[in-house]
Structure 1
Amino acid sequence: MHQSIAKPMGVQLFSFWQIFTKITFFLKLRSDFMLPVNTAYHENFTRGTPDFPFDYHYIDLRHPRYVMPYHYHSAFELLIMRKGELDIALNESNFHLEAGDCLLIQGGIVHGGSPKGNDSLYECLVFSFEQLFDLERPPYAFLRRLSKGSISLRQLIRRQEDPGICQSISVLFDIVKEEKQGRGSLALGQVLNIFGQIESKGCYTLYQDTMPCRYLKHMSKVSELFRYIYDNYQHQINLESLAEVTGLSPKYFCRFFRELTGKRPMEYLNGFRIDCAAALLATSDESVNEIAYACGFVDPCYFAKLFKRYRGISPRSYRNEHLRSKIK
């Protein structure tokens, strides 16, 4: 999938394990198990087991989804960065994570990202509040509102700014990983501890506090809007089709989208297409023109110009840089 770069004999010798690791990485990227990087898909399955409804993932270079494809699910997800760095997008927002940072991903949000280099390590934990708790009971009012989408969490929790919350999240991961008697009760208690801290420290906002009243009734359509973008960006998308998803006229949709993201709709769409193209340049052997078409651009020249504007480098140079980093 990656182009090889010829090197003179004797310039650099690799151990058997180094060669095996690199070949395995390339084969994993080619395997059918990994979904295409430029496709958003809906994960829809039961998390964990009835006795322990947590879905845990340990992700390093050997994992087939080391480069996280765009996807979404109705369950909640916690992500903790253990080593290295990760650039990740959640709907309209982009984040850069370093070791110790945590990410809170609410249900329905389309997300995907790329680690920096080959030595990053992150862990993910996916679960459903409805499976864990009886949300109709008064003590779980905050989780009920969170589950229904009336609360927007602060998505990035930095270790240096909120060490207590990050430490509590790390403890939850340790509980989940250690298969011992009583871990189910410990995990449930730790989930309540984490979200109790989030609520008490005010690491959330109510939509009515951040959006003009005239737009509040359309907030329920936000996740559907971004899923529409991610499911269709390879094709031609116009302003009218985006506005239709939210039930707004094109004129008011532009204002709504600007309030939501700080960007114009087409500006956001082009930025996302460039992100997907960058992922393909780094992980596939398709030509630059083929990648441009696959990401919804009808003019490869315009794609190249836009790519350089967003990334500060041409598509071919970007690919060559990543190829060099892969063979080191």
Structure 2
Amino acid sequence: MVTSESQLKILDFLTSIDMDSIALESCRRYDAKTTNTSRHSHNTLELSYFLKGEQIISLNDKTIESRVYDLVGYQPGCEHQGVLTPQEVLTIKLDIKYRSLVQGCSFQLRDKSGIIRWLFEQIDYEHSNKRVGSDRMIRNYAENIILHIIRHYKTASNVSLQETFYELLHYITHNCSLDITLEQMASIMNVSKSYLHKVFRTYTGSTPLHYLNEARINYAKKLLTSTDASIQDVSYAAGFNDSRYFSRVFKQVTNQSPSTWKKNSQLII
């Protein structure tokens, strides 16, 4: 599974490519007899479009399964190995200049519309026929392929990121009394702790701990209003291990102490 964080790293690499620098190093069709099955890497951006058959590809930290209409890409220096040879693959290797490189970065997408296949075929045609302006046409087609990949990952990363983030918020809201750690939050989103902070800043303008504390304070306010529990008992029930820390956070969020809040809520009732 490609995580939101991985998707953004792929995007960082793709969007850092200098489109004017694109130059075709090679364009070739491979079959079961000509496919390189040894582990190898290139100093170019390698893009392979699967026309027939399937292939299992071994990378440093994972394996991926590719089939007809799949596009698989490897950034410069990404080691890979085809375990199962395909029947027909069209592969282009692009010399590029870029600013951002992720160690071992590879990517895969399904060409549902057939547009990417058409672009590959056009590059193959121009490369084979060497007509006037072929180099420029090839660069334009290659740029369009990269832009389609960028569109795919921007859409995928935004959707999956929002979905998992709101799942996390739902979990925090309904389990705020538990001992929720940053590690657990990051695990739910399948991201690192540093990226977790970045996501919270983007969507809430605050930190994970601030959001967790607000959820706990909202729960504590309900307890103070609806029960006769002591301030200390409420603090523990809301997930705070220290009643003094609870009182300090409560006042930061509500501008009132827990006891004042409880007294005022009783007056309203």
- Which bin holds the TM-score, normalised by the shorter protein? 0.3 to 0.5
Q: Which structure dedicates a bigger proportion of its chain to helix?
A: 2
> What TM-score comes out, normalization by structure 2 length?
0.41
Structure of greater Rg: 2
> What TM-score comes out, normalization by structure 1 length?
0.34
